[in-house]
Structure 1
């Protein structure tokens, strides 16, 4: 048999045998075999040939053809059984496809729908939470039941401590995979559901103020530290980027993507038009080996609500003007971008975050990330009476509850907070004392005219009359 294969390959490679001829002969033999097995389905009546094959997968419940030409009918019969064999083979492969194979098929489909960052996160969740459960992921997905899903999710939450956000992201991988199977018409219904012990999942609680925002004092200290750094390195725009974000509260990627042309004027007010961002670029060709290949500027924001206009304070305009001057001194005019390094490339997120963290440490205040400046901006507006609706819009949030739950914090330190509370309560006591009047003071203030007021009988509560039995 091995010698035959070698000879056959030699014959094809040397054009002794034509591949087209071989395929044509195979198809001819296949059709002869079909006619031998199913040819009796063809009937003859009058001058017509016809056949009828019951098939519940078809809309009318059967496949039928009729013609005066017998060869045409034979070809249609063969075409039907060849296609049927293909469908049966596909069903067989589908029924044996494991959940892991389905997931990777889904991820290939997903590549064109979402960002590389989303693909990377889903792959990380898959490897972290699902791959350890080999029995589950190697099971044919059509055999997976709701109980199987329950057992898997409960095993995962029992194995590790999980916060509710991480749990939702993890569940989303399985949910979307089965939704894909339904949309691809592999299965009619998804077995996905969430039936777990919720006590095992750590709820997301609002973090302490001191971890999430800069107090007014800390902000002033940090600004002074950034000014000191600028004096030491006048051509470095990174400290000014940090200072500017206290005035505009944008996302880090949105900040780095700003251009001079984004500064506009509306009704006499200078505003910043936010409509692009810097995003991480990933090579997702090989799902098993996703690599970050750099950063890219894109003309869209994180969400549909991200495109917005932010009023600029005089301080913000001052910072922007100083940034322009630095770019002129550096000789940088890279497509109008504001935040450039000395060699003309866009400043990186790591450069911003690193400068901020080092600045906090040097100034002796708690180390925080750039995102905490965004929360400080939101909390400052709220403390000064700006409505949550406006703040949410300025932040580019789709949901006001997100703003209130995750971005609004107390900007005062513990001493200031205690003083504020005590002063408020003291004011309340004074107010109560001023409004409390003794009975003697009231009686003394009653006039003769007041004594002539006629008193009416107090209104009695209306009662439902009892039903009485009438005797005859």
Structure 2
């Protein structure tokens, strides 16, 4: 912006533009710069003699009201705040950076994770109160390396580090700072503790558990014939889709002629800021937007049994007059949300394993991935089927589908021939 002002002054000096033109151009560019950085609402005067007003962030992250008698003077104050008087602190720039990440496709669940990391790691530390241009490589090393030494996995480090790292990169792009200290910082990521893969016992449904779930679902369907959530849970076990995807399926997504279903949207939520400053979640359905994942939207083959389940759901909807914008899983109140599916999964699990930790809808998804892998499917195909952005993610979904007792018996049988040769001469 300051370079642009210099160019305008040079154009004025050489007679290319008039003083009035120069003044208007500078005002316009100042306003554009402010609107890029300032996310708080600007309030017009409610009566004659009142002032224009808004809020800016103090270094500690709290709000400070500023006002002016005219809109132009308020924008001048805001421009000075963002570009002349100070470079924002990490916490002061956080909301602007979050809006930028949202524009790049980051969903609210990811933003929630950023919020958690901000509150847990950054806010208690002085680095969050430093201006971005004053954060040195030594500051970064003194902040991250002790956290690693205390015991941090590489996955967690990457997840929480991206906040400040990407914030400084974005600050460079916006011309707020000229350099990111991350370029020179020596962060000892090799000292991170290994990521422990959780036991299959808690991550997938074993075959006997699947049988028990289906029996429980069938009983529930007999009790509540007009509730179609149970049909959807059965599809989770056979299709391996995300529960947020099953909740967003429409009748128009099913092609009965070719026996396929189109996965192209999902339930999500938006966070809106209330007048009191608190945030509230609003449930919504969005076109499939898992970042830049080209595999998210996909057609999946349907078996004859699955076709029958879907036709049963449609018949129940017609008989009862259930309808909500064409969604498949609905009742008299509208579309079933993710919560309805997770509630039933928990309820069904507790009918046959009340003493065991409840397994989730995402554990069903891991189960499908593992079954496909041990059924001989290529990892690349499983990735496309599940809609993962990378094979690495898919690999993390693969667990041994047999219980420990079965594995021990298989090992015993596998080496029985060799064990029988012990003590013989060869």
Q: Normalising by structure 1, what TM-score?
A: 0.67
Match of 2:30 in 1: none
Assess if the C-alpha contact under 8 Å between 1:117 and 1:282 holds in 2.
no
CA-CA distance at 1:109 after TM superposition: 4.6
Q: Which of these residues, 245, 254, 259, is aligned with residue 270 of structure 1?
A: 259
Assess if the C-alpha contact under 8 Å between 1:247 and 1:313 holds in 2.
no
Q: What do residues 88-137 of structure 1 show as CA deviations (whole Å, max 9, x unaligned)?
A: 9679735454333233443355554444444443233222221111x322
Q: What do residues 401-424 of structure 1 show as CA deviations (whole Å, max 9, x unaligned)?
A: 2212x1111111122222222333
Assess if the C-alpha contact under 8 Å between 1:123 and 1:287 holds in 2.
no
Assess if the C-alpha contact under 8 Å between 1:95 and 1:142 holds in 2.
no
Counterparts in 2 of 1:354 and 1:265: CA distance versus 1, 3 Å: closer
Counterparts in 2 of 1:111 and 1:318: CA distance versus 1, 3 Å: closer
Counterparts in 2 of 1:226 and 1:104: CA distance versus 1, 3 Å: closer
Match of 1:237 in 2: 228
User: Secondary structure of the equivalent of 2:209?
Assistant: helix
Task: Measure, in 2, the Cα distance between the counterparts of 1:92 and 1:347.
Answer: 48
Match of 2:145 in 1: 154
- Residues paired across the two proteins, number: 367
Match of 1:214 in 2: 205
Q: What do residues 374-429 of structure 1 show as CA deviations (whole Å, max 9, x unaligned)?
A: 1111111111111111111100112122212x111111112222222233334678
Give yes or no for the alignment of 1:126 onto 2:118: yes
Counterparts in 2 of 1:234 and 1:185: CA distance versus 1, 3 Å: same
Match of 1:176 in 2: 166
Q: Which of these residues, 226, 237, 240, is aligned with residue 246 of structure 1?
A: 237
CA-CA distance at 1:372 after TM superposition: 0.8
Match of 2:65 in 1: none
Alignment of 1:94-113 (within 5 A): 95=86, 97-110=88-101, 112-113=103-104
User: Secondary structure of the equivalent of 2:268?
Assistant: strand
Match of 1:26 in 2: none
Match of 1:327 in 2: 317
CA-CA distance at 1:283 after TM superposition: 0.9
Assess if the C-alpha contact under 8 Å between 1:270 and 1:311 holds in 2.
yes
Where does structure 2 lack aligned partners over 5 or more consecutive residues? 28-75
Q: What do residues 126-161 of structure 1 show as CA deviations (whole Å, max 9, x unaligned)?
A: 22221111x322223222211111112234446x65
Alignment of 1:390-469 (within 5 A): 390-404=381-395, 406-426=396-416
Q: Which of these residues, 287, 297, 304, is aligned with residue 299 of structure 1?
A: 287
Assess if the C-alpha contact under 8 Å between 1:116 and 1:283 holds in 2.
no
Counterparts in 2 of 1:427 and 1:324: CA distance versus 1, 3 Å: farther
Match of 1:45 in 2: none
Larger radius of gyration: 1
Where does structure 1 lack aligned partners over 5 or more consecutive residues? 1-54, 439-472
Assess if the C-alpha contact under 8 Å between 1:119 and 1:284 holds in 2.
no
Match of 1:351 in 2: 340
Task: Measure, in 1, the Cα distance between the counterparts of 2:100 and 2:85.
Answer: 17
Task: Measure, in 2, the Cα distance between the counterparts of 1:249 and 1:111.
Answer: 27
